Amino acid sequence: MRSSIAFLLALVIMVSVLAACGAKKVFILLGMNDIALYGIDKTIEHWGIMIGRIRSTCPDIVIYIQSGTPIHKDGEIGKLNNKNMDAFNER
């Protein structure tokens, strides 16, 4: 619950800043920490919410979504691993 509140707060701030500055483009790179915190399904759900909110607030903005980067073999911990990152990027 607490992490969902943090996500929503960050979303409101981000969208407000994009609208206030009149951004024409936004580059989004999410994945690693989100997968570790929420898992793949919830992270995908959050992306949908975020993109919908950006589009409704800034309808003319161009959104670039970047895939999550590979994780060094020694850096894999729990859900934060290359198998999950690959599955996330495929969706």
Q: How high does pLDDT run on average in the chain?
A: 86
DSSP 8-state class, residue 76: -
Which pLDDT score is estimated for 31? Answer: 63
User: For residues 65 and 31, is the Cβ–Cβ distance under 8 A?
Assistant: no
Which pLDDT score is estimated for 3? Answer: 60
> What integer is the mean pLDDT of 4-33?
87
Q: Is the pTM of this model over 0.85?
A: no
Which pLDDT score is estimated for 8? Answer: 82
Question: How much of the chain exceeds pLDDT 70, in percent?
Answer: 95
Residue 19 CA from chain centroid, whole number? 18
